[in-house]
Amino acid sequence: MSLLQTLRDALRRPTQTPALTATQTAVEPGAPGERAMIGWLHRELAEHPSKGLTPARLYTLLEAAEAGDLSQQHALFADMEEKDPQIASDLGKRKQAAAELEWQIVPPDGASRLEKQAAAQASAVFAGLDVADLILDLGDGLGHGWVMLELPWISDGNQRVIEQPRWVDHTWFQLHPDDRQDIRLRDGSITGEALWPLGWLRHQHKTKSGYPSRLGLHRTLVWPYLFQNYALGDLAELLDILGIPARLGTYPHGAREDEKATLLRAVTSLGHKAAGIIPEGMRIEYLEAAKADGHGYEIMLNWCERAKSKAILGGTLTTGSDQGSGAYALGQVHERGLASLIASDARQYAATLNRDLLWPLAALNFGLTERGRAPRFQLDLGETADYAALKDALPVFVSLGAKIPQWWLHEKTGIPQAAEGEEILATTAPMTPVVDKKTPEMGKTVATTATLTARLAAAPDIPDTPDQQTAQLATQADPLVAAMLGIIRRELDAAPNLDALHARLLTLYPELANTDLTDLLGQAFLAAELAGHLEADA
């Protein structure tokens, strides 16, 4: 049955929808029949497949998950997050980054009064929830590939609302034997029990495509996890052997058995106690340890650490797993890659909440069975455009006839739009040119982009050919270049010789920096590019 049909049935007969009156995993003690089997899930002890894990056993475990038995695979995944500091750290960083984003619930475009009321009610419901914890629980889908949160519906007057959704252990579920996309609750049967409609947040996280049993990042991480455990165990054994030098005891010919036993006890105790006695005529020699180190194991450990960071965070320079191997610029590239992953996570969390929570909430309380008219949950990613770039470019595009709505500017800059009657910022005086005080002779400034735009708008019939642009550039640039040359001529006349002139020019160089000329050339290049686009579009 589709979610839409379930919603329509729930609107007609809400008391006949079990998810609205109870949670599926809450079974009373002594419940009869097949429902009693659900109760056993609460009494199952956690298993730890990571203990004594071998490649052969791991392969068998992963194959069993593909056949529908998910419990062992996901118990192993839980062990990995608990025992591996790198996985716990990197996954925690990615989960927490999304959980810290600001959230909002907005009505659909062109919302009616009823749709605005639905959005207001949904906002009030979410204000009573711990949304950060909710996002962290949904983030469990990163490693496992999917996560199920049970929805506890309650009545608030004549309306249906929810309490904090409850995370449910992955080992409580299985796949339907005939449909590998159908995740069900384990109840002791072959097929399992179908999840109640309206009773669950069913989040499948798309880090890659595939069936639920193969979706999660942990399917990729499990092999570096295993190899690292082997390398770490071997390194620990090597250090244990090399840390204590070998001792060799020798006894004289004809020594009695009790004397040999005394010598053996002395040899074994000297390793840690560093003290002992032996009969006269016997001796103990220390042998030099074998020439070996752990470099090979360290290479394997480092590879495993880097592989895990790449899989989870998209790179290694956002953690300490690759220290000293990259420059700041490369670290910024990795940071942007991580931001892209977090943006994808946020969109997927919002899609799940919109489908399984906000739409049912709006339908049950306001009858909005059209999904596109339900309120929308959003996580604010803080993606805004460069203010300086917009300031320079927008006046030019407006002068060329582009019709840019104000809401687009507010959205791109992240600056909220003032409400009716609200005080707003305003300029108190027109902008004045900035004069370089170090060189008054260079005081003539060029027109700003806004001035250039105004000139273009005032004379729209004048063809803006390359020759005219070149002439205009020469007219405005000549005074600036002449000012610079004037400073150089002044020093040339005052210098007693070429060496003195050379030294003086080196000290004078900062005064020759002409920002006005730089701005003029930038505007000229921009105007030339825009003219080229207009000519190409003509």
* DSSP states of 8-48: HHHHH-GGG-GGGTS-TT---TT--HHHHHHHHHHHPPPP-
CB 165 within 8 A of CB 25: no
DSSP-assigned beta bridge partners for residue 106? 376
Q: How is residue 331 written in tokens? A: 């670290």
- What are the sequence ranges of the domains in the chain? 3-46+63-215+334-380, 221-324, 440-537
Residue 61's pLDDT band, with cuts at 50, 70 and 90, is very high
Residues 282-316 have pLDDT tens digits of: 776 655 555 556 567 678 888 888 888 888 888 76
- Per-residue pLDDT tens for 70-117? 999 999 999 999 988 889 999 999 999 999 999 999 999 888 999 999
Residue 513: pLDDT above 70? no
Pairing of strands 166-167, 173-176: unpaired
Task: Using the Cα atoms of residue 330, residue 332, residue 335 and residue 337 in order, give the sign of their dihedral.
Answer: negative
H or E segment at 446?
Answer: none
Dist CA 526 CA 528 (whole Å): 5
CB burial readout 393-415, b (16+ within 10 A) else e: ebbbeebeeeeeeeeeeeebeee
Residue 430's pLDDT is what? 46
Residues 6+ apart with CB under 8 A from 16: 9
Query: Regarding predicted confidence, which is higher, 45 or 319?
Result: 45
Strands 200-204 and 246-250: unpaired
Look at residues 109, 157, 102 and name the one whose alpha carbon lies nearest to residue 135. Answer: 102
The Cα diameter of the chain in Å comes to: 121
Nearest by Cα to 400 from 452, 357, 351: 452
How open is the CA angle 278-281-282, to the nearest 5 degrees?
50
The answer to whether the CB of 184 falls within 8 A of the CB of 148 is no
Question: Mean pLDDT in the chain?
Answer: 79
φ and ψ of 249, to 5 deg? -100, 140
